[in-house]
Chains A and B, each alone.
Chain A
């Protein structure tokens, strides 16, 4: 063999050099390609984030640039006007939106949380009707909002409920729209409570209702609240269904929940200003967008804070 002609020390040196080269190849050469690939993908992913953010930033920037001249605290206190543009504001729309939100919360919290508790704690998943409910709930969350507007018009404003074009009808319509979101978020929150807590409670002789009421619900409340806030902020931004259930009137007075005189909401008011041809109204619409974005960011930040603050780590 050729190797035998090499002196032992030489052979040792060769072996060490060979091993070193192999190690170097494994540690150094190969990864260079990987590093490149890694960076490439990280860059692509970052690009995706930036594109998503760019839309939001562009919107905020445009609204600020266009609307800053019209932005003042008079916006919150003055009613809208077509004649006196410099003094026109959003007061009835803001009050209308506030009332709509209260109505949505009153409607959506008991029904949404109740449905979530039933589906998570009581429903027997082996039964076909419960599976059907689950399937429909997922689909319901994806139904376009205009469909809810038509439903509200046909069943709440007219039809069986026949409430007329009142603010309460708008609130119920929006509540139906966001109900699936609340139910799904509520179920997630309830499911996150480990079954060992339920078992511990039941093993003490507590009834199922006592267990749900005193152990599961308190532990799930931060998650449920987060879901409700996110649902409400979605309702706040909805325009299409409101246009169908009565929020089209140009109101200059403060709306009442059950008055047939008409009501307005912030996004509807923005829409009305934006459709006018004069530049002053466009600036006013942009100022309205700043207000609405501000409210939405505050609400969503509160939801995130709440989740991080009270999230139970099991």
Chain B
């Protein structure tokens, strides 16, 4: 708890082993991930991000940095714009014709909204897992193979599929029924299939939009374990309603809150506080954060 960031610097490479250990010893997993190696390399640098839907402001002046191989959580009440902000990071907001993003979003130093940037290329590097499991109406195999196929990835497709399913802890459950329709799986399995599908194209960052909100606690636990394992290879940004989940899985937490104008006609989201998860939950700087994480408001 009292470690300063510099002491973690020297532990590069140890993170993987610790994450694997954490997965094996489920019950004694530490509440906070503060004792793990925290990278200082920035993946995203957001400066004064505003998102509008038509004339309506959805999120206002968000500035925050997201670090490599960390799990960054975004928490806050409904309507605070955390999903909207997440969808800025892989330009999924482009799909909504009326959406407009202002400000600067740097990804490894490159402006995501630069004139020469192709959103399709952005989404190859920055994958996304959605709130409701959305497998394609195809076989389990074809669900995983779809991404590598359309991206024209080299290598043996069977191997790519097996690797992705193993890394999403799904292989043993589905290896005998790869050709059956993905709709026959349970909700939790479907969501892990969506994670496998995302891993298969080997992105750099994975965005998760409330990935467990439609799942039971056991499935949720499996996906949280998976996230701890996945952050060895990927940077993860997760939006969640569940504060305990943010506390369990994330290294850093951003707390967003809804702002109302004087007439209460329009509402938008603002970043209240962004810090290491442990600090947000134990010693937040803002009283609004404290009220929210302690359950006084929400």
Residues on A lying within 8 angstroms of B by beta carbon are 124-126, 194, 196-207, 210, 214-215, 218-219, 312
Contact = CB atoms under 8 A, between A and B. Distances in A.
A200 B136 contact: yes
Interface stretch (B91-99, B246-254, B272-280, B290-298): B91-99
A191 to B, nearest CB: 15
A205 B198 CA distance: 10
Interface of B: 90, 92, 95, 97-98, 120-121, 123-125, 127-128, 130, 132, 134-137, 146-147, 150-151, 194, 197-198, 201
B130 A199 contact: yes
Contact of A214 (B98, B120, B121, B146): B146
A200 B194 contact: yes
B134 A205 contact: no
B209 to A, nearest CB: 10
A16 to B, nearest CB: 47
B199 to A, nearest CB: 11
A204 B97 contact: no
Contact of A126 (B97, B127, B136, B146): B97
B92 A204 contact: no
Contacts of B121: 205
A199 B92 contact: yes
Given A203-B123, A203-B130, 11 more contacts: A126-B97, A196-B130, A197-B134, A199-B134, A202-B92, A202-B120, A203-B128, A205-B123, A206-B120, A206-B147, A214-B150
A197 B137 CA distance: 9
B56 to A, nearest CB: 15
Contact of A203 (B97, B151, B198): B198
B50 to A, nearest CB: 21
A124 B96 CA distance: 10
Contacts of B92: 199, 202-203
Contacts of A200: 130, 134-136, 194, 197
B201 A204 contact: yes
B149 to A, nearest CB: 8
Nearest to A314: B137
B174 to A, nearest CB: 18
Contacts of B120: 202, 205-207
A225 to B, nearest CB: 16
B201 A196 contact: no
Given A126-B97, A126-B98, A214-B146, A201 B151 contact: no
Contacts of A204: 123-124, 127, 146-147, 150-151, 197-198, 201
A194 B194 CA distance: 16
8 closest A-B pairs (Cβ-Cβ)? A205-B124, A196-B134, A203-B128, A204-B147, A200-B134, A206-B150, A205-B123, A210-B150
B97 A205 contact: no
Contact of A202 (B95, B98, B125, B136): B95
